[in-house]
Structure formats: structure tokens, C-alpha cells
Amino acid sequence: MGRPPCCEKEGVKKGPWTPEEDIILVSYIQEHGPGNWRAVPTNTGLMRCSKSCRLRWTNYLRPGIKRGNFTDQEEKLIIHLQALLGNRWAAIASYLPERTDNDIKNYWNTHLKKKLKKLQFSAGEEGGRTMNPISNNHHQSVSKGQWERRLQTDIHMAKQALSEALSLDTMNLESPSPPSIGPANTCTYASSTENISRLLENWMKSTPKSRSRASLGSMSNVCSETTTIESTTPAAIGKVMMGSTTHHDQLGFRSVKIESSGRSVLQEESKESLSAVAPPLSFIENWLFDDLSVGNGGDDDHQDLVDLPLSDASELFQD
DNA sequence: AACCACACCAACCGCAACACT
DNA sequence: GAGTGTTGCGGTTGGTGTGGT
């Protein structure tokens, strides 16, 4: 009857992750690197399915993740990329290296959708007709001319979005506390483990009921102050420490360089980080940038387009 | 203080794509 | 090319927090 579940339901734990589980997972990935998720539950003893482990890592424990408080720039970028790409959150997330697709998706569903709906409503009231500023409307049948015009607009939007993304990156690089990405940054892999140590600290302090939330909050402090895990020392840490005298460093502060079967985690992460700093450019993207750089010398048309209120921009797509 | 409604977000589920044999 | 296993993605759900009454 239907498709079998991805993993045996029996004995598989569900629901929120505990700090202990996080530590175990991070510790394992430090040693073996992300990937081969199928082996993670069996090798770590975690009563989680591989999917859950992967998700936990990519959406939460992975280094270099920024959580909460989307900036105006990011918001703008998401809106434009959504207009361009639709609900392809993974693709959109690739332009926001510090954000996960899940995060962006959540933000879109909880904040931006409503925001745009409001815009749509007010614009609809003003204009006396319904206008959808987001791309969902794009799927409605349109004439070829309209489609072409829309495509052109989308390209403009993409260009601007990309240039904004670049300028964001530049800003981030210049800022005093850049996100923990890139091999040159000493706060690479350790960031997530630092988070976990902080998480544990809060976890120990807080009541069982508020544990989850409290710890989640602490996780957002990527690369912040260093905290010794010894000060908290729950039983789980002991488990993690087993078989390694260097785990303390790994969990605490170490700028990671762990070799595992000829391939360091750092290398793995670096690949990610590199692509994070400079998302891989496809031919089209390169072309967009080429064109952008030409137009950057005071091409107000592009700026106008992006600065255009979404409700107005959407009018371009109307009859 | 108690209740309710809403907001938020981590995690789950199912499907599709990909990789390997 | 077919079959099987694994990973990635997007939609959705459920638990918890928060604000209003």
C-alpha cells in the first residue's frame, strides 16, 4: 500500500533534536564529513532516520548559517528571486549562502507572502483591479508578447538581484564580524560546535519546558564568544568524547582540520563555503553580470526597475 | 489568571532526481 | 535500459511562544 517509508518507523525518534543528539551528529560529521547520511544513524547510534540527520545538519548545525532577522536587502533579494525562480527555495538559497532553503521558505510563507498580499490588496484597491505582484500569476496564460516582456523584466530583476547579492557579500566581507565562511576564516567548522556548547549551557540553565526554544536562540550566535564545554558537561558530552582526547578542542574552539580517509572536513566545507561566498555562475548568470557591469555606469533603468514597488512592477506583467 | 487566536519555525513527509550496479 | 538505493527539494504539519481579550 503506497510507498514504504524512507526508514523503519520502529525505534526511530521523531520531533525536536536534543543538544546531546546535536553534539553526537556534529561530532560524527566532524570526523567523517557530511554525506553518506544513510550510515549516520547506524554509526552514531542516533535513533534518527538519515533524512532527519541530513536535515538537521543542513538547516541547523551546518557552519555559517545565519538565523532570524532578515535584512531589507535579503528580503528584497528573496522577493526578486522568487519572482524570477518561483518557489525553488534551494535555488534562491544558493544566492543567500548564510540562509537555508527552509529558512527562506519559512520566511516567505510567514512574512513575505503576507507583506506582498497587503501590497497587492492596496494596489488592487487603488488600481481598481486585482494585481498579484508575485510570480504565481506568471503561470496564467499570457500572450507571447507579454511573455517576452515579462522575461525581459525577469532578466532585469535577476541582474539586480545578483548585483545586490554581490554587494551584500562585499559588505559582509568588510564588516567587522563576517559570517563564518571560507577556509581562511578560523571560525569555520567550529562555529557550529561553539553554538552547541552555548546551546548546552542554556539548556542546562533553562527549565525542561523552555529548553528547546532557549537553545535554539543561542544557536544563532555563530562565531560569537567562545565557551568551554567543560562548564556544562552533560552526560552526553562524555559519550561524544569517547575515543578521542582531542574532542574537547573540536567541540570548543578548534579551527577544524580533521583528516578522514584522505579528505578533510574542512575541504568539504570549504567547497561549500567557497561557493557560498561566490555562488557558482552559470553561463546565463555570467552573461547577466557581464551586462550588469556594462550597465553599472549610471544605468538608472535597472535601478528603477528594482526600486519599483512590487505592485507597480507587477503591472509590467499585466495586459 | 485563563483562555483563545494567531505567528513562527523546526521537523516531517512524499516525491523526484540522481547515482550506482 | 532496468532496478535499487540514496539524496535533495518543496509542501505541509505540529508544537511552542506571544499578544489580545
pLDDT in tens, A136-180: 443 333 333 444 444 445 555 555 555 555 554 444 444 333 333
Q: What is the spatial distance, in angstroms and rounded to an integer, between the CA atom of A8 and the C1' atom of C2?
A: 26
- How many helices, marked H, and strands, marked E, lie in chain A? 16, 2
Determine if strand C comes within 7 Å of the CB of A89.
yes
Which residue's C-alpha is at the least distance from the C1' of C14? A15
The four Cα atoms A138, A86, A70, A64 give a dihedral, to 10 degrees, of: -160
Residue A260: in which H helix or E strand, if any? strand A259-260
**How many Å apart are A90 CA and B16 C1'?**
14
Closest CA to A293 of A158, A159, A152: A159
Kind plus residue range of the DSSP H or E element containing A197: helix A190-205
Q: Distance in angstroms, CA of A68 to C1' of B7? A: 14
User: CA triplet A301, A303, A308: central angle to 5 degrees?
Assistant: 95
CB A146 under 7 Å to nucleic chain C: no
Å between CA of A311 and C1' of B2: 43
**Could you tell me which of A275, A65, A101, A60 has the C-alpha nearest to residue A188?**
A65
Residue nearest to nucleotide B10 (CA to C1'): A16
Could you tell me if A219 and A194 are in contact, meaning their C-beta atoms sit under 8 angstroms apart?
no
> What three-state secondary structure class fits A295?
helix
pLDDT at A62: 84
Instruction: Using the structure, give the distance in angstroms from the CA atom of A57 to the C1' atom of B12, rounded to a whole number.
Output: 15
For residues A191 and A222, is the Cβ–Cβ distance under 8 A?
Answer: yes
Contact A266, A259 (CB under 8 A): no
pLDDT of A198:
52
Q: Point out the residue nearest to B14 (C-alpha to C1').
A: A3
d(CA A66, CA A96): 10
Residue-level pLDDT at A195: 54
> Residue A102 CA to nucleotide B11 C1', Å?
10
Query: Is any atom of strand C within 7 angstroms of residue A91's beta carbon?
Result: yes
Q: What is the DSSP string of A198-236?
A: HHHHHHHHS-HHHHHHHHHHHTT-TT-S---GGGT--HH
Q: Which nucleotide is nearest to A85 (CA to C1')?
A: C10
pLDDT value of residue A197? 54
Give the distance, in angstroms, between residue A121 CA and nucleotide C7 C1'. Answer: 40
The DSSP output letter for A135 is: G
| Grid coordinates of A211 | 529548553
pLDDT in 10s for each residue of chain A, 319 residues = 333 445 555 678 888 888 888 899 988 888 888 878 888 888 888 888 888 999 999 888 888 888 878 888 888 889 888 888 888 898 898 888 889 999 999 999 888 887 777 776 666 655 544 344 434 443 333 333 444 444 445 555 555 555 555 554 444 444 333 333 333 333 333 344 455 555 555 544 444 333 333 333 333 333 333 333 333 333 333 333 333 333 333 333 333 333 333 333 333 343 334 333 334 444 444 444 443 343 333 333 333 334 444 444 343 333 3
Q: Within 7 Å: CB of A36 and strand C? A: yes
Residues 157-216 of A with CB under 7 A from strand C: 209-210, 212-213
For cell 562555529, the residue is A191
- Taking C1' of C9 and every protein CA, the nearest residue is A90
For residue A18, which nucleotide's C1' is closest to its Cα? B10
Give me the sign of the Cα torsion angle A40, A250, A260, A216.
Answer: positive
Nearest nucleotide, CA A212 to C1': C16
| Greatest Cα-to-Cα distance within chain A, rounded to the nearest angstrom | 70
- Per-residue pLDDT at A10: 60
